């Protein structure tokens, strides 16, 4: 690491310490309480595990440290990558003499939400043709999940229960419980095969009470990297239709799993074709590399029916009130970039190339890791490294092994054994494989 990188990291860490921890010397004089919010009412919360991991990685001064924590794409030099197409779109927007920084409408930039809707529901979606879809620009995928959760909490006839996959993206639990939605889980990952526990998943979904909400990851499941096949999606939809369950589809990785936008939204298209009422959360953080720009969308689709257009209008009117009271209107710049690309055929084609670059490099790293582990004859089976898909691999390492990976080898990964494949590259994959080999043999 250069000394410039090091001092930037140190400055960043100091800033996080100041922002994250209140300076207790300023908390008032002895004997009087500085707050009405006692420790009983407002106990000290733990640091967010993922952002805590990111900060720990930054503090580490070891030159071979490896960051496999947060799900953000890195190039072969372990650096963030600004997509070629994003650079182009950004320049066009910046140079536009008509650019201003006015508020967007409450539902966001119309040309963005319409293009985002077409992209995720499919351009020929019956929901679009029949005017049964309403779309809102949100604060990335997290904001979309929050808006959907809030709507369900407020407008469901009885208190809703959401079923989350076990495991799921950790933030799902917080988002739903913060708005008072009950949480249950369905089995998803089979620890033995390190693949989908389809029977367990289906039988729990089958036993969910009618009207329950089932949260599904349409592609590139986070954290496991394990997706149902097309046939399995069809069976899931069939069971959910029979039980009248509500699909809550959270799609943060379209184009990142297979590299093909239209393959990665198969599950969404299938559920719509089956005539469900559902909602879809869409993030442009990963597939555009617009992490900090918070560009995303929330789509509500009502089932086919004579009152479809009126129903969706009514639902959209309430979503608009929720949006206005929470964020007033969404941030503009990231959505402008995505919109520029989505609405221009030439830029769109360039984006598809960029997507293939990212998904292709990840696939290469899966192969490279598997081959290093094979060479080392690391105990266990490692086929899942290449059969899992998308940004993440669920390695199967235990929490104790993950701890050793960090303490002994300076490899940063989440406690559940997840790695962000994008953090591997041709310079560190062998080092990482050796570290895995060591902790597997010596724990």
Catalytic residue positions, numbered: 169, 250, 286
Q: Whole-angstrom Cα distance, residue 409 to residue 174? A: 31
Please say which residue, 70 or 104, places its beta carbon nearer to ligand LMR.
70
Residue nearest to ligand LMR (CB): 71
Q: Is residue 71 at the binding interface for ligand LMR, with CB under 6 A as the rule? A: yes
Q: Minimum distance from CB of 231 to ligand LMR (Å)?
A: 28
Q: Is residue 54 at the binding interface for ligand LMR, with CB under 6 A as the rule? A: no
Please say which residue, 70 or 82, places its beta carbon nearer to ligand LMR.
70
Q: Minimum distance from CB of 292 to ligand LMR (Å)?
A: 11
Distance linking the first and last C-alpha atoms of the chain: 30
Q: Minimum distance from CB of 220 to ligand LMR (Å)?
A: 11
Q: Is residue 70 at the binding interface for ligand LMR, with CB under 6 A as the rule? A: yes
Q: Minimum distance from CB of 119 to ligand LMR (Å)?
A: 19
Q: What are phi and psi of 27, to 5 degrees?
A: -90, 15
Could you tell me which residues come within 8 angstroms of residue 323 by beta carbon, excluding any fewer than 6 positions away? 106, 107, 136, 138, 147, 329, 330
Q: Is residue 416 at the binding interface for ligand LMR, with CB under 6 A as the rule? A: no
> In DSSP terms, which residues pair with 297 in a beta bridge?
137, 282
Q: Minimum distance from CB of 171 to ligand LMR (Å)?
A: 6
DSSP state at residue 383: H
Q: Is residue 412 at the binding interface for ligand LMR, with CB under 6 A as the rule? A: no
Among 12, 13, 16, 50, binds ligand LMR (CB under 6 A): 50
Please say which residue, 85 or 413, places its beta carbon nearer to ligand LMR.
413
Q: Whole-angstrom Cα distance, residue 112 to residue 125? A: 17
Q: Is residue 359 at the binding interface for ligand LMR, with CB under 6 A as the rule? A: no
Interface size with ligand LMR, residues (CB under 6 A): 6
Length of the chain, please? Answer: 443
DSSP three-state, residue 319: helix
Alpha-carbon separation of residue 76 from 67, 301, 360 (angstroms): 13, 40, 12
Secondary structure (DSSP) of 160-197: -EEEEEES--HHHHHHHHHTT-EEEEEE-EETTTTEE-
Q: Minimum distance from CB of 146 to ligand LMR (Å)?
A: 12
Q: Which two tokens stand for residue 46?
A: 């733990």
Q: Which residue is it, tokens 């779309």?
A: 135
> In DSSP terms, which residues pair with 96 in a beta bridge?
none
Identify residues 233-292 at the interface with ligand LMR (CB under 6 A).
Answer: none
Q: Is residue 222 at the binding interface for ligand LMR, with CB under 6 A as the rule? A: yes
Q: Is residue 224 at the binding interface for ligand LMR, with CB under 6 A as the rule? A: no
Identify residues 109-168 at the interface with ligand LMR (CB under 6 A).
Answer: none
Could you tell me which residues come within 8 angstroms of residue 331 by beta carbon, excluding any fewer than 6 positions away? 139, 293, 294, 295
Q: Whole-angstrom Cα distance, residue 21 to residue 338? A: 36
Q: What angle do CA 114, 152, 181 make, to 5 degrees?
A: 135
Q: Whole-angstrom Cα distance, residue 416 to residue 409? A: 17
Among 73, 81, 169, 394, binds ligand LMR (CB under 6 A): 169
Q: Is residue 171 at the binding interface for ligand LMR, with CB under 6 A as the rule? A: yes
**Contact string (CB under 6 A) for ligand LMR, positions 182-221, x = contact:** ----------------------------------------
Q: Is residue 173 at the binding interface for ligand LMR, with CB under 6 A as the rule? A: no
Q: Enumerate binding residues for ligand LMR (CB under 6 A).
A: 50, 70-71, 169, 171, 222
């Amino acid at each position: 690491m250069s000394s410039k990188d090091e001092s930037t990291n140190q400055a960043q860490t100091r800033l996080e310490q100041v922002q994250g921890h209140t300076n207790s010397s300023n908390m008032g004089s002895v004997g009087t309480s500085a707050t009405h919010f006692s420790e009983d009412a407002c106990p000290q919360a733990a640091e967010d595990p993922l952002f805590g991991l990111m900060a720990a990685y930054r503090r580490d001064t070891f030159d071979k440290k490896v960051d496999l924590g947060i799900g953000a794409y890195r190039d072969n030099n372990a650096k963030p990558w600004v997509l070629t197409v994003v650079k182009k779109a950004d320049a066009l927007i910046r140079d536009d003499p008509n650019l201003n920084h006015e508020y967007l409408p409450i539902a966001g930039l119309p040309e963005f939400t319409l293009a985002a809707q077409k992209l995720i529901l499919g351009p020929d979606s019956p929901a679009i043709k029949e005017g049964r879809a309403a779309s809102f620009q949100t604060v990335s995928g997290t904001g979309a999940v929050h808006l959907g959760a809030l709507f369900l909490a407020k407008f469901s006839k009885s208190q809703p229960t959401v079923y989350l996959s076990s495991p799921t993206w950790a933030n799902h639990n917080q988002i739903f419980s913060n708005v008072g939605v009950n949480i249950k889980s369905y089995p998803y990952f089979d620890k033995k095969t390190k693949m989908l526990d389809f029977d367990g998943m289906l039988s729990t979904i089958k036993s969910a009470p009618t009207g329950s909400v089932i949260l599904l990851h349409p592609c590139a499941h986070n954290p496991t990297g394990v997706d149902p096949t097309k046939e399995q999606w069809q069976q899931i939809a069939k069971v959910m239709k029979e039980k009248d369950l509500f699909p809550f589809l959270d799609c943060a990785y379209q184009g990142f799993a297979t590299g093909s936008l239209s393959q990665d939204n198969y599950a969404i298209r299938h559920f719509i074709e089956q005539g469900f009422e559902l909602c879809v959360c869409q993030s442009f953080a990963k597939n555009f590399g617009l992490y900090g720009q918070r560009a995303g969308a929330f789509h509500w689709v009502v089932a086919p029916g004579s009152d479809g257009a009126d129903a969706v209008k009514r639902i959209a009117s309430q979503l608009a009130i929720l949006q206005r009271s929470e964020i007033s209107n969404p941030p503009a710049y990231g959505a402008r970039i995505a919109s520029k690309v989505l609405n221009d055929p030439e830029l769109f084609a360039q984006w598809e190339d960029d997507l293939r670059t990212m998904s292709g490099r990840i696939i290469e790293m899966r192969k490279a890791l598997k081959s290093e582990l094979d060479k080392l004859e690391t105990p266990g089976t490692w086929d899942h490294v290449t059969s899992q898909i998308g940004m993440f691999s669920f390695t199967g390492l235990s929490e104790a092994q993950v701890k050793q990976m960090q303490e002994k080898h300076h490899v940063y990964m989440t406690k559940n054994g997840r790695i962000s494949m994008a953090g591997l590259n041709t310079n560190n994959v062998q080092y990482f494989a050796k570290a895995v080999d060591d902790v597997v043999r010596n724990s």
